[in-house]
Structure 1
Amino acid sequence: MTTAATSVYVYGIVPADVEPEPHASGVGDPPGEVSVIRHGEIAALVSMLESDRPLGTPDDLTAHAELLDGSAAVAPVLPLRFGAVMTDTEAVENELLGANEDEFRSALEQLEGRAQFVVRGRYVENTILRELLDENAEAARLAGEIRDKPEDATRNERIALGEMINQAIESKRAEDTRKVVAELEEFEPLVNQREPTHEEEAVHIAVLVELDRQKDLEETLRRLGEDWDGRVELNLLGPMAAYDFVMKRAPEG
């Protein structure tokens, strides 16, 4: 009976004194047990994976993110992109850790005590439309023209109104994103503005902040959410690994 060849799946880079949670599991079916490979002051979070086992199931993606995000809540972690597989533990130690030791150690020092959070907000459709029509007389006129009329008869007006609304929402989004960033200035964050994933998205930013300020961050966004009650639905995700700021790709091996 032949034993399946294995590779090493790498999740991210951590300080050498980090220990994985007992029974922590990673990608694969069955999930691989997570361990660490150390080199000097840094280490890699890894698990073994059958070499011929394809990656990319929803469970794999979830396991990758959950391990990194759980680690980021207690220690600095430099996340690798999903799918980082190397031939064996020697390759991880020499080609990944040894070859990038100074860069990885410096990045971990910058992440010490910090984690990423994502702020997302979506406009409440009826509220934002009413706001836009109140501010734009031409849009209000077009809306009045097409009300209760068949689509075919008002096609041009509907297209023109749709373009006006899209442009107005883009302008609102930029303005409201600036407001959120300004509200968060006290946390001295690193900020990455993400592309909107929905046409009615009001704000979508990633911020890197001190972990011990999490409750203050939640309170600031709660107050902002109250100010925007009925206009924008705000959500805060995290803590998570610093994907937007230090994502790395493992060398082929």
Structure 2
Amino acid sequence: MPGHTGMSGGGRASSQAAPRATSRAAASGTTARADGRTAGRTADKTTEEPTEKTTGRTADRSGVVQRDMACYVYGIVPADVETSPDAVGVGDPPNQIKIVRHGEIAALISDVDVKRPLGRARDLVAHEELLDAAAVEVPVLPLRFGAVLTTPDAVVEELLTPHHDRFATALKQIEGRVQYVVKARYAERPILMMVLAEIPEARRLRDRIRDLPEDATRPERIRLGEVITQAIEAKREADTRWLVDRFASCTAAANIREPTHERDAAHVAFLVEADRIPDFEHTLNELRHEWADLVELRLLGPMALYDFVTTG
């Protein structure tokens, strides 16, 4: 299952971490997890993989250097995690995932060609899919997209060693937790009909412009758009609070995200304990039934805990 690092073990969680690694691109967004299992936990927590002292260079059979290599870092996991041979991440072609261990923690890494700019959409997708699949199986502290260090030794010296205790504590705290994101969007016609039914000014403006040319009613049309936008914003605020309260009994925490569309009804990240996932999904299905004619609900996850654990 290339592109993922599903991991066996008791943990299911993560965070958006941005320690002192060189960043070559800004973090952005998340995606729903794609299924895949390509790693597991091992009882040996002291094994460390060989590291290089300098930026690696590959050469063809004639000895000509083909590219300069650095170390792309995806996230922090417990030291007893192992990846499978088909676990891959960013790059073209995708590079194999490796592990660098130090004490109780480890970093998920891969080679990266420093001459090839990061930032392509498929790189971001590969980064997120790997972290989200890993988070289903073990605790993960994900780094922001684009974290690059020179060598595996630099990962140990500049990232794992100075932050060891903090990362180890965070991994224990998020064991057995995952993140889900609920996106709710109003259906266009039902929400407009609701606004017109509830706001007299909107009805008057609608009636005034109904049979007149657009140029002759430009101010009224602009005002109607403002009224509709304000009404949706107010309804979004109320519905978001209601949705958070509805999930309160089966979630450990919630983080309200900014809307991504003018008709968004809610955009909320939830922290969910593994044993409460069935209750969470049951509540979501109830909401789908109750909001069927007005709101479309989408569920993203399970994924890394981007919204709930941040280290900087």
TM-score range, shorter chain: over 0.9
Structure 2 counterpart of 1:30, from 93, 103, 127: 93
Alignment of 1:1-253 (within 5 A): 1-248=64-311
State the 1:3 CA deviation: 4.8
Query: What CA distance in whole angstroms lies between the structure 1 residues aligned with 2:276 and 2:132?
Result: 17
Note the C-alpha offset of 1:139.
1.0
SS in structure 2 at match of 1:75: coil
Deviations 1:187-246 (A, max 9, x none): 242211111110000000111111232232121111011111110001111000111222
**Is contact 1:73–1:211 with CA below 8 Å preserved after alignment?**
no
Q: Aligned partners of 2:109, 2:274: CA distance in 1, in Å? A: 24
Q: Give the counterpart letter for 1:137 in structure 2.
A: P
Deviates more, 1:147-156 or 1:79-88: 147-156
Question: Quick one: which amino acid aligns to residue 216 of structure 2?
Answer: A
Deviation digits for residues 106-137 of structure 1, max 9, x if unmatched? 21122110111100010011101111111111
Distance between the aligned counterparts of 1:39 and 1:3, measured in 2? 31
The secondary structure found in structure 2 opposite 1:46 is strand
Match of 1:138, SS state, is helix
Q: What is the identity, as a one-letter code, of the residue corresponding to 1:29?
A: D
Q: Which amino acid aligns with 1:208?
A: L
Number of equivalences: 249
Would you tell me which structure has more helix in proportion to its own residues? 1
Shift of 1:247: 4.3
2:25 corresponds to: none
TM-score, length-scaled by structure 1: 0.95
Letter in 1 for 2:288: G
In 1, distance between residues paired with 2:225 and 2:66? Answer: 61
RMSD: 1.2
Q: In 2, are the aligned partners of 1:39 and 1:98 still within 8 Å (CA)?
A: yes
Q: Which runs of 5+ in 1 are unaligned?
A: none
Shift of 1:25: 0.4
Distance between the aligned counterparts of 1:21 and 1:120, measured in 2? 33
